[in-house]
Amino acid sequence: MLCRSSLLCGILSAVSLFVTGSVARAESQLKPLFNGKDFTGWHGMPHFNPYDLAKMTEEQKAAKLAEWTADAKKHWSVENGELVNDGNGAYLTTDQDFGDIEFTLEYKTVAKADSGIYLRANPQVQIWDTTKEGGKWNIGADKGSGGLWNNSPGTAGKDPLVLADKPFGEWNSVRIIQVGDRTTVYLNGKLVVKFARMENFWNRKLPLPKKGPIQLQTHGGEIRWRNLMIREIPSDEANAMLLAADADGFKPAFNGKDFTGWTGPIENYTLDNGAIVCKPGKGGTIHTQEEYGDFVARIEYKLPPGGNNGLAIRYPGSGDTAYVGMTEIQILDDTSSKYAKLDPRQYNGSSYGIAAATRGYLRPVGEWNVMEVTVKGPTIKVELNGSVILDTDVSKVEEYMANSPHPGKTRTKGFFGFAGHGDAVAYRTVLIKSLSDSTK
């Protein structure tokens, strides 16, 4: 990647060092997911919609899990520290739910079988019989294992980048890194999926659940698993990965030292340890001096309890950006009880008053979040901590909160900024990529 400024090079260099250091640190933090002796920490569960499971009463759920676990025990066994399945029965499923993870394991399977690894109860990192004799070249087995096979046709990650399978009888090693929906897979040391979005099989309009169990799929033939190791990725490391991903073309809009390149009521904001912070009780919209048409903004932000702010998108330079700009992307501690009865179009990540974002993907108050906003023509996509929580075309929206018109939503160009509402919301690592520039 070519850096276009010394500051961006510095940011990405620091991120790179952080991630590299995290990899070394992570080796000692991986913990066994299987004890090598029995099924402690695991239960049975087949291919089953987790949203339907969540709707059950506790009694119904317990009965269903007991039924599935009894079935799993008929088809799973432990031999020499290996989990062995005969190709039938419910999938072995972790009792614990996981979100952002690094997960490593080894597997060995047989001809005619195919299998997979469900993440957050979502199918799946695919395991194939890759031979022509396996009979599944027509659905992608010839391309190799490790892909996100249940993604939509043509999407990144559905097919592996390279064929990396070992012959039958040999152990294959898998390393999975997942942050939000973003999923990376190494098979036998080769990169086969690069930070691709794993689609929500159960509802493709939603991001993956924030957390869910890991499942080892059983399908058509014996498969053996061993050396299952896992660690949960902390938020600072996850943020570093998200900031560093596909960073070519991004330029820093904030230098981390002063308000160079910014204008508006700057006196209502302060600088604190490399971050722009709205002064308590103050506000107003500060914004870049540069205008943008189509662009991607990638930022970190941190909320105080009950904090409220917003991202000004294609802002004209004066007025309430939620109405006179294309939109305001809401930045809000929507976990606060004082916001329990808001209109859905007012919650975090929403296009204010226009389109509601999916809730539940904020990090705990006081931690930094990474938000990426992609603006192309009348469309807006918002990714929060690796999960897409809003993907909308504002030109098609005709019903607004409180029936208030949004005359600015048709704007094709404007400033990017922060719309303060009196709370000490902090921003740092403000990177913007002009999509118009990137196509020249």
Residues 418 and 273 in one domain: yes
Is 24 among the domain residues?
no
Indicate the length of the chain as a whole number: 440
Tell me what percent of the residues of the chain surpass a pLDDT of 90.
Answer: 87
Q: How is residue 21 written in tokens? A: 């250091």
Residues 272 and 196 in one domain: no
Residues 40 and 77 in one domain: yes
Contact 47, 91 (CB under 8 A): yes
The band of 112, judged by pLDDT with boundaries at 50, 70 and 90, is confident
Tell me what percent of the residues of the chain surpass a pLDDT of 70.
Answer: 93
What is the separation, in whole angstroms, between the first and last Cα of the chain? 17
Tell me the pLDDT tens digit for each residue of 384-397. 999 999 999 999 99
Residues 57 and 202 in one domain: yes
Q: What is the DSSP letter of 199?
A: P
- Among 193, 209, 238, the domain boundary falls at 238
Q: How far is CA 207 from CA 182, 341, 361, in A?
A: 10, 23, 9
SS3 assignment, position 185: strand
Helix (H) or strand (E) holding 27: helix 6-27
Residue-level pLDDT at 10: 52
Tell me the pLDDT tens digit for each residue of 408-431. 999 999 999 999 999 999 999 999
Residues 232 and 273 in one domain: no
The answer to whether residue 11 scores a pLDDT higher than 60 is: no
Is 22 among the domain residues?
no
User: Which residue type occupies 208?
Assistant: L
The candidate with the shortest Cα–Cα distance to 331, out of 307, 315, 353, is 307
Is 25 among the domain residues?
no
Rg (CA), the chain: 24
Is 13 among the domain residues?
no
The answer to whether residue 26 scores a pLDDT higher than 50 is: yes
Give CA angle at 295 (292, 296), nearest 5°: 135
Q: What is the average per-residue pLDDT within 255-282?
A: 97
Is 8 among the domain residues?
no
The band of 281, judged by pLDDT with boundaries at 50, 70 and 90, is very high
The answer to whether residue 45 scores a pLDDT higher than 70 is: yes
Residues 348 and 403 in one domain: yes
Residues 354 and 417 in one domain: yes
Residues 187 and 282 in one domain: no
Residues 38 and 83 in one domain: yes
Is 54 among the domain residues?
yes
Rounded distance between C-alpha atoms, residue 303 and residue 311, angstroms: 14
Contact 421, 268 (CB under 8 A): no
Residue-level pLDDT at 377: 97
- Among 238, 263, 285, the domain boundary falls at 238
- Among 238, 270, 285, the domain boundary falls at 238
Q: Domain range for residue 325?
A: 249-438
The band of 4, judged by pLDDT with boundaries at 50, 70 and 90, is very low
CATH number at residue 184: 2.60.120.560
Residue-level pLDDT at 125: 98
Rounded distance between C-alpha atoms, residue 388 and residue 366, angstroms: 22
pTM (2 d.p.): 0.92
Q: How is residue 380 written in tokens? A: 């807006």
Helix (H) or strand (E) holding 62: helix 58-75
Residues 357 and 402 in one domain: yes
Strand partners, 44: 92
Is 97 among the domain residues?
yes
Q: At what angle do helices 235-244 and 6-27 cross, to 10 degrees?
A: 130
Tell me the pLDDT tens digit for each residue of 81-100. 999 999 999 999 999 999 99
Q: What's the burial of 331, exposed, middle or buried (CB within 10 Å: 0-12/13-18/19+)?
A: buried
The band of 154, judged by pLDDT with boundaries at 50, 70 and 90, is very high
Q: What is the average per-residue pLDDT within 276-302?
A: 97
Provide the number of structural domains found in the chain. Answer: 2
Residues 278 and 421 in one domain: yes
Residues 286 and 256 in one domain: yes
Is 381 among the domain residues?
yes
User: How high is the mean pLDDT of the chain?
Assistant: 93
Strand partners, 277: 270, 426
The answer to whether residue 439 scores a pLDDT higher than 60 is: no
